[in-house]
Amino acid sequence: MTDLTQISDLTHLTLTEALAKLNAREISSVELTRAYLERIERLEPSLNAFITVTADRALADAQAADQARANGDTSRPLLGIPVAIKDVLSTEGVETTCGSKILKGYTPIFSATLVKRLEAAGMVMVGKANMDEFAMGSSTENSAYAVTRNPFNLDRVPGGSSGGSAAAVAGRFALGAIGTDTGGSIRLPAAFCGVVGLKPSYGRVSRYGLIAFGSSLDQAGPITRTVEDAARMLGVIAGHDPRDATSMNVEVPDYLAHIGRDVKGLRVGVPKEYFIEGITPDVEAAVRAAIAKLESMGATIVPVSLPHTSYALPVYYIIAPAEASANLARFDGIRFGPRIDKGAMWQTYKATRGLFGPEVKRRIMLGTYALSAGYYDAYYGKAQQVRTLIKQDFEQAFEQVDVIAAPVAPTTAFKIGSKTTDPLSMYLEDVFTLPASLAGVPGMSVPCGFDDDGMPIGLQLIAPAFREDVLIRVGSAYEAATEWHSRPLPEFATA
């Protein structure tokens, strides 16, 4: 077995550091992958970051990466890098469950476009990350398989729905991970787990092969330890895909060119609507200190208003469940999913869809009601109109500023089980992330502090549509000027 000291050394590298060592032939991808797989074997039972661990496939891919590098291949940007993939993305030959019993045993015959792009870039997939069922949740307590735990405190949630992806990165189970964000599901778990999470603009990354929750909202993006690592991964997965009608054919910039730039002259907007009653003092203090740090680095701080922010929560919980109701109708035991045969059609249909968990059922019912005759215009139609107003708020704000800085969530990671009986309280965790999702603009969470209990706090940066380069510039400059991203994890994660 590999020496545990060596495992610790390798699993504490950033993606960029590991890539440099691989290219310099100081380590091999097999050594790196084995270090992660042995750490997963030892610690995964305590964390539950994965639904499926693909150890044999990972080692085979690592061997292929080493052979490719020996043959002179140095151009692929993720060659030999261990990565976790959220279980909502189709992976050819590997079970894809969406965290639901209704897809248990489903093995896709194709891979999502972004998975193919990662594979072409040399990724080594170590497993499929746990998630809230069909991406519905803010804590990863809604998975049908296990509750993922926060590496900073095993009694706390990692956030959701990409909690498995964030816990895998924070827990040193992978150098990077892919999550998806419908209303905050990359940024929230990244903030709760003390890592970087980047939600791209809607249309920046292909949704082909991403099993849909809310089709006008879902967007995949990277979760990593540093902003530079996120830039590397985003550069691989971004770009137009003719198989996805929502994919935009816009130029993908060189994101790495924005690493190391300063923020002098940039205008940073601070929305008053994001500092409201309910935000904890620790979170507000950390975020305001981060904004002051950006000012000390040469940025200009500009107060802005996003007046329709308070409507984002009710708008989202009409639009997203409505789209979920339509998207999940196919899982009926006839077209997709297992069949629980009860003889008669309606009884079979009811029994089969009973495999959905309570949160999924709740949202399907909400969405079906909002779309029903007599209520469509009053609820869904009106919500879409207000969504336009939220989008216009951002457009007007970005006429004054280059980027917006705000909290990711009103609290830090809460205790497992503390909100499961109060759905509204759970929904409120996304109150600061929902507006950017509804507007389709990019957002990123960057570590900016810790509360009195030692739980991470995230700074949310929001930029105009398709200006992820601005997020990377500001995020990397802030990261370079602080040490929050490099604080050691607790004993659990370093054992």
**Residues assigned a catalytic role:** 86, 161, 185
- Residue 311 makes CB contacts below 8 A (sequence gap 6+) with 386, 389, 390
Which residue, 386, 479, 486, is CA-closest to 439?
A: 386
Say how far apart CA 161 and CA 179 lie, in whole Å. Answer: 8
Q: Are 141 and 189 in contact (CB under 8 A)?
A: no
DSSP letter (8 states) at residue 415: B
Instruction: Tell which residue, 227, 273, 267, 274, has the closest CA to residue 406.
Output: 274
SS3 category, 370: helix
Cα distances (angstroms) measured from residue 103 to each of 121, 142, 146, 207, 211: 29, 15, 15, 19, 11
Residue 249, token pair as written in the block: 């054919």
Report the C-alpha gap between 91 and 358 in whole angstroms: 26
Q: Tokens standing for 63?
A: 């061997």
Residue 368 CB neighbours (<10 A)? 16
CA-based radius of gyration for the chain: 21
| Beta strands at 196-199 and 267-271: parallel, antiparallel or unpaired | unpaired
Write the DSSP string, 171-240.
TTS-SEEEEEESSSTTHHHHHHHTSEEEEPPTTTB--TTBPPSSTTT-EEEEEESSHHHHHHHHHHHBS-
Residue 303 in tokens? 């107060």
The answer to whether 89 and 115 have CB atoms below 8 angstroms apart is yes
The amino acid that residue 329 corresponds to is A
Measured CA to CA, the distance from residue 153 to residue 492 in angstroms comes to 9
State residue 327 phi and psi, 5-degree precision: -70, -35
Question: How wide is the angle at C-alpha 405 spanned by C-alphas 158 and 207, nearest 5°?
Answer: 60
